[in-house]
Structure 1
Amino acid sequence: MCDDLTNKDAEAYFLSRGMSRRDFGKVGLGAALAMMLPLSATAQDVVEANVMVETPDGEADCYFVHPAKGRHAAVIMWPDIFGMRPAFRQMGKRLAQSGYAVLVVNPYYRTMKGQLVPNDVAVIDPELKQKIFPKAREQARTLSPQTCVTDGRAFVKFLDQQPAVATDRQVGTMGYCMTGSYTFRLAADMPERIGAGASFHGGGLVTDKPDSPHLLIPEIKAGFLVAIAENDDERDPKAKIVLREAFDSAGVTADVEVYEGTLHGWCPPDSAVYNQAQAERAWREALTLFERNLA
């Protein structure tokens, strides 16, 4: 999970690549993200909007994007500890171009509207990370397993009210870093509505606490993808075994895999440890999961 140790790993990796935010700035944020997130030849035209979603605790500012025509399975995308920002909007848009109605959410809406990462940032380098990480950690502490569930229910309710959403198809969830666990919690809370969950370098999936996400697996009916960073696995090599055994015991179809050569946070394209080859492979696995389980 994202902490001081993974931050040190990220800084060393970033510096080893000899890159800086200026390198990305030379081509512009949009172009940089587009190069890192290749567009499919079958990409659909999409409609996108900033929306406010009512929850029991207020209004969450979110980004909603969906194909311009038809009704489609919905997917909730929870960002990592650095919250809503251009990279996740781009990822949400890319998923919509593959045929899904996607809601990218701001998990910190109770205490902060908008975003921690400036709009013109194409990579969260060590300098910026050092500056914003304390605030991000402070915001993360305002959340809990219960807020995940109450927010998730509200997001599903919002999606089910949208003309672009096919309510006869199940909903998917995607979580990164700290929100990897959110996919477990919502799938367990709404087993009849959530059909697929994907956790990317998710933190705290197996703990010794009574509310550990892995203990919820018997309540889950959704298919799952758990994509684990190699350095996360090195720190807790037993976690993947516990997860596999729990999924197998519950009869839940799941792919639990350590992605070779990756560091915690490797999936978002603005991450200092972005690993394009492995991020693309994880993305393809997520699309396969959604195609299979949200049909």
Structure 2
Amino acid sequence: MCDRDLLARWAMDRRKFGAGAALAGGAVGLSACTTYGGGDTGRLAERSVSFAIGDDTMDAFFVHPADSESPAVIMWPDIAGLRDAKRAMARRLAGEGYAVLVLNPYYQSVSGEQFADFAAFVEQDGFEKVKPWRDQLTAGSVQRTARAAAGWLMERSAVDGARGMGTQGYCMGGPFTIWSAAAVPGIREAASFHGGGLVRDAENSPHTMLRGDANYLIAIAQDDDAENPDHKAILRSAMADTGAAGLVDVFAGDHGWTVPDSPAYDRAAAERANALLLETYASAL
């Protein structure tokens, strides 16, 4: 999973981030109502949004086809939080016909973008900065957030609530998708990409909270698999025990391979993961 040891293995200069950042940058800067080249749904509408969750205020990014109702997707970012790379990924998914809400996972502590990209996260000693924010992201807190986000989405005219909902997460957001599905019956598909902590020694371990009537896509990074080679079997066994459908697979990419501004970004492996995601959403939603 994403930790200091992993960052130490990456060369810490901006050249490692250049290609991925350029890919992300090519998809950003879209106007509030524009045409996206990756799908056939026409114009997209997007805006920054906020809504109350108890005494806190969630801030998020919402993008969706402008001219149709669409199934909703809750996106949980990785450790670097809500930023342009995640907005670009959301726009691409919206271009395929989904209403995508990208959450600020740290909303209980801070609002807005904290790191422009993953390079900034590294340069600003991001692990130390986010530690107190991450400490608040318990299973209960994540589930409370998921219920509120799902409720907000179901009230949007751009959302087709009858088709159910999906959720996807990256790095630390991977387990959040499973916790979210456990808390929100309307979530039919949960996708984790290089998720950390899917199997842990705790009663709320994500692998113990799978829903038998949900579908899961659990995409494991090859280096995470090398570190915990038993986790895939544990996850597959948990899915079989609950009757949950889906796929647990190891990808030929290192931790972070799906995220354009990550130094581990691998375009070929990321495209395979994205194709599987769209395939599962198409069948589940």
CA–CA distance in structure 2, aligned partners of residues 183 and 23 of structure 1: 28
Q: Deviations over 1:3-44 (max 9, x none)?
A: 1222223x14x77xx92557788x79633779xxx9425353
CA–CA distance in structure 2, aligned partners of residues 275 and 234 of structure 1: 18
TM-score (normalizing by structure 1): 0.87
The aligned residue for residue 263 of structure 2 is: 272
Q: Gaps (5+ residues) in structure 2?
A: 30-35
Specify which of 223, 236, 260 is matched with residue 228 of structure 2.
236
Q: Are residue 4 (structure 1) and residue 4 (structure 2) matched?
A: yes
Does the 8 A contact of 2:175 with 2:197 survive in 1?
A: yes
The aligned residue for residue 86 of structure 1 is: 84
The aligned residue for residue 198 of structure 1 is: 191
The aligned residue for residue 95 of structure 1 is: 93
Matches within 5 A, 1:109-258: 109-118=107-116, 121=117, 124-125=118-119, 128-129=122-123, 131-191=125-185, 193-217=186-210, 219-258=211-250
Specify which of 35, 51, 56 is matched with residue 54 of structure 2.
56
| Counterpart residue identity of residue 31, structure 1 | G
Alignment: residue pair count: 279
Percent identity at matched positions? 38
CA–CA distance in structure 2, aligned partners of residues 108 and 197 of structure 1: 21
Check 1:78–1:29 CA distance in 2 against 1; reply closer, same or farther (3 A cut). Answer: closer
Check 1:259–1:58 CA distance in 2 against 1; reply closer, same or farther (3 A cut). Answer: same
CA–CA distance in structure 1, aligned partners of residues 72 and 136 of structure 2: 27
Does the 8 A contact of 1:73 with 1:166 survive in 2?
A: yes
- Shift of residue 239, structure 1, vs aligned partner: 0.3
TM-score (normalizing by structure 2): 0.90
CA–CA distance in structure 1, aligned partners of residues 147 and 174 of structure 2: 17
Does the 8 A contact of 2:212 with 2:243 survive in 1?
A: no
- Shift of residue 263, structure 1, vs aligned partner: 1.3
- Shift of residue 102, structure 1, vs aligned partner: 0.6
Over aligned residue pairs, what C-alpha RMSD do you find? 2.3
Check 1:158–1:126 CA distance in 2 against 1; reply closer, same or farther (3 A cut). Answer: closer
Does the 8 A contact of 1:74 with 1:101 survive in 2?
A: yes
